Structure 1
Amino acid sequence: MGLALENLTVIDLTQVMAGPFCCQLLGDLGANVIKVEPIGRGDATREATGNRLPHGESAAFIAVNRNKRSVAINLRTAGGREAFHRLAATADVVVESFRPGVAARLGVDYATLREVNERLVYASISGFGQTGPYAARPGYDLIAQAMSGIMSVTGDPAGSPVKCGVPVADLSAGLLCAVGILSACLSRTITGRGQAVDTSLYDAALAMSVWETAELWTTGRAPDRLGSAHRVNAPYQAFPTRDGHLTIGANNNRLWERLCAVLDRADLLADPRFATNDDRLRNRAALAGELTRTLSTRDTEEWVELLLDAGVPAGPIRDYEQSCADPHTLAREMVVEMDHPVEGRVRALGIPVKLSETAGAVRRAPPQLGEHTDEVLRAAGYSATEIAALREEGAVS
């Protein structure tokens, strides 16, 4: 069978992280993704400072732009807008990440494009959404984590608020946008009409805060930072060992009893401070101290093996070098290689959604800026002469 989304054409007007990640997910599942970039510089991550591959390509751009073709268009020109409208006329989806109001000024907003294509699904990812008092504010993952509350519950109890190590607002906004797009496409099969999809980093960050808001609305108090501990279960956190750290999830009495047996700590079962999960939560610090006293006597892998053999969920804390080389990671094809026209063979993360009949595939390396301009415009009906005229006008490159 073919790819699940091979009949879906997506125009990617986004840059940096959330939108490109969303469109890459769709591309991985087979969508024909056309990345429309500004002439000259392209996606901002092409020029971003930070890690670069040996021949100068941006690692950040490569991470979230595979399975796409690049078209360089100047939307501030009449020819550029006309070219974009012609592409949108036959597309299924447009995804944009401008600050609210910018798309309208460029003539590529939903109100304009639905006149061109009433079946169009038009998705917007912004910092704070298309409505509300903060809609016009610039939005970044850091700001969304801060304002949503995520940073207030991240870090050690005695320390300062910190952001999550991965950009959870950006990435979850991209994931939720992909869900919204596919939902709108499914609705279109019934109604025949497209619609606008609106999500934001701020909304996405709040949507991830399910335990924290549940605690707020149950207790009437804002949740505190707990380090690696869990809000409703104990022990369920990271602990130091003799040579590193591990995590243990003994989140019910049956697992708690097994944990104590593995640690040879029958005394903890008899301790009234730890009799029930509620007791263990109330005395979380004392519990962690007792467990650490024992866990620090052996190495991580030894404890993990003993705990897993007893049916207690446990795992070592690894860095990314270790996790990306893990046999399970490789067996799940979560590290893949692709041929890049400049860098040669490069590694990337694999496709996290496994479909049994229409599995996704890494079909294209991230494109060079404007690599497919002529190819895409020809498919849209432009002649070679017309493309040359657009290039002369500065509308495309």
Structure 2
Amino acid sequence: MNDTRPRMPLSGVKVLDLSRILAGPLAAQALADLGAEVIKVERPGNGDEARRWGPPFLKDREGNDTRESPMYLSANRNKQSITIDIASAQGQDLVRRLAARSDVLLENFKVGDLARYQLDHASLRALNPRLIYCSVTGFGQTGPKSHLPGYDTVFQAMSGMMSVTGLPDGVPGGGPMKTGPSLADFIAGQYAASGVLAALYERDGPRGTGMGRHIDIALLDCTIAAQTHSVMTYLAAGVVPPRRGTEGNGGLPSQAFECADGGIIVICGSEAQYRAFCGVLEQPQLADDPRFVTNSARLEHRRELADVFNTLTRQWRAGELLAALEKAGIPSGPINRYPEVFADPQVVHRGVTQRVPHPAAGEVTLCVSPIRFTGTAAPQPTAPPTIGEHTDRILRDLLDMEPGAIASLREQRVV
């Protein structure tokens, strides 16, 4: 199938996306952002379950709800959509024919489910030995819990992420807390994309094997691994990290501070930055206060430190203090809501969002890939497809099917 977008690193790579909801689709989207041709396979009628995860929903030109939820829109840009009933023999045959022409297949079915349809790794490897088959599940392909389902919040809880997120015990609102965005899904999607890229290089690189791989991605594994230094604090030192709210993980003071008209974040990652902070607040003597003179002392007296500095920052307006901190070279920033995020001049300059055509809404604003290749203009993304938007084109152009044969499949509700 012809791809009219400018050449990107993965141009020419064909990906068959059998995944739904978030983690798997995010992995496929990451590959699509890099230029891969991604064909998303959806169930006829309902499609990806994430389409229904609203309200809110994207509005059409008349202001009515479409079938496109923000959850779906977040993970499916730059893809094509085909509907196939994989529970039918004819549908299974279509998937096998597409897999035979693909470089990568992504799926997030329960362990063993696709073997019922002979769409598992072993079956498709026999058909296409070059196929890179990536399975994204909650607990992985092996182990005592591999058969269990799960969603993002389950893995934030089981991985320990919630135990180190939120306010400390003993303060109002203290206790384990889920992150706002679905980070376990996002993390697993990025690890899956990294695994696919490595397998493509192994297959086609300078010493290429010419053979595919089966990649086993578990949300639980990925969410544990992503906690990096928090996990190593326990593994290396036997210390269970406490929840510290907005407080940073290195030098102090590093946290949210109160101003007369709102809060800001200040991070003092070095002694020089700490002393500069004291100078900005016109309290240079605090730099040599025995309670705060070293980072170790500040850690020991962290509560007193926070009280002393909050008393000082409350005398400032947030914008004025941020300007003074910026001039002094101290890492800091406002605590933005989304309206402020997307109005920020830096965000606008970087082109973090783009307005693109959408068949139902007319236009939709998307976040775009944050990966920038210097000297190369990024192609405009395409909107996440409506359900089955490209079914006829894919069957005609990729599988060489005649219009009558496609019409017959549609009458039988195979597509």
TM-score tier by shorter-chain length is over 0.9
Distance 1:359 1:178, change over 3 A: farther
**Correspondence 1:122 to 2:133:** yes
1:292 equivalenced with 2:310 (yes/no): yes
For residue 166 of structure 1, give the secondary structure of its aligned residue in structure 2: coil
- The answer as to whether partners of 1:126 and 1:199 remain within 8 angstroms in 2 is yes
Q: What SS does the aligned partner of 2:291 have?
A: helix
Alpha-carbon deviations, 1:92-114, whole Å to 9, x = none? 11001111111212321111111
Structure 2 counterparts to residues 201-216 of structure 1, below 5 A:
201-216=219-234
Q: Which moved more, 1:313-322 or 1:211-220?
A: 211-220
CA contact (8 A) 1:11 1:93 kept: yes
Structure 1: gaps of 5 or more residues:
none
- 8 Å contact kept, 1:241–1:296: yes
Find the counterpart in structure 2 of residue 356 from structure 1: 374
Between the aligned partners of 1:103 and 1:127, the Cα distance in structure 2 is 16
Structure 1 partner of 2:349: 331
**1:249-328 alignment, distance < 5 Å:** 249-328=267-346
- Tell me, in whole angstroms, the C-alpha distance in 1 between the residues paired with 2:123 and 2:72: 29
Query: Counterpart of 2:213?
Result: 195
- 1:175 equivalent among 175, 180, 190: 190
3-state secondary structure, aligned to 1:191: coil
Instruction: Go from structure 1 to structure 2 and tell me whether the alpha carbon gap of 1:358 and 1:198 turns closer, same or farther (over 3 Å shift).
Output: farther
Mean Cα displacement is larger for which, 130-139 or 186-195?
130-139
The yes-or-no answer on 1:161 pairing with 2:154 is no
2 CA distance for matches of 1:219 and 1:93? 41
Which deviations, in whole Å up to 9, do the C-alpha atoms of 1:74-120 show, x marking residues without a partner? 11111101111000001011001111111212321111111111111
Which residue is 1:63 aligned to? 74
For structure 2, the residue ranges without an aligned partner over 5 or more in a row are 1-5
Partner Cα distance (2:199, 2:378) in 1: 21
CA distance in 1, matches of 2:7, 2:136: 29
Written as runs of structure 1 = structure 2, the 5 A alignment for 1:65-104 is 65-104=76-115
Q: What TM-score do the two structures reach when normalised by structure 2?
A: 0.92
**CA displacement 1:135-176 (0-9 Å, x = unmatched):** 111111100000000100111102121101111101111111
**Which amino acid letter does the alignment assign opposite residue 364 of structure 2?**
V
Check the 8 A contact 1:29/1:361 in 2, yes or no. no
| Cα distance in 2 for residues equivalent to 1:385 and 1:141 | 43
Aligned partner of 1:288: which letter?
A
TM-score, normalised via structure 1 length: 0.96
The answer to whether the 8 A contact 1:268-1:274 is kept is yes
Q: Distance in 2 between matches of 1:349 and 1:333?
A: 9
Separation of aligned partners in 1, 2:88 and 2:286: 73
Q: Is the 8 A contact 2:163 2:243 kept in 1?
A: yes
| CA displacement at 1:358 relative to structure 2 | 5.0
* Cα separation, 2, equivalents of 1:362 and 1:201: 31
CA pair 358-8 structure 1, distance change in 2 beyond 3 A: farther
Worse-matched range after superposition: 52-61 or 69-78: 52-61
Check the 8 A contact 1:119/1:188 in 2, yes or no.
yes
Tell me the amino acid that sits aligned with residue 349 of structure 2: A
User: Which of 114, 117, 141 matches 1:106?
Assistant: 117
3-state SS of paired residue (1:129): coil
Structure (1/2) with the larger helix percentage: 1
Aligned partner letter, 2:414: A
The farther-off stretch of 35-44 and 50-59 is 50-59
Aligned-partner residue type, residue 141 of structure 1: D
Residues in 1 aligned to 2:258 and 2:166: alpha-carbon distance in whole angstroms: 16
1:241 partnered with 2:259 = yes
1:364 CA displacement: 2.1
Aligned to 1:31: 36
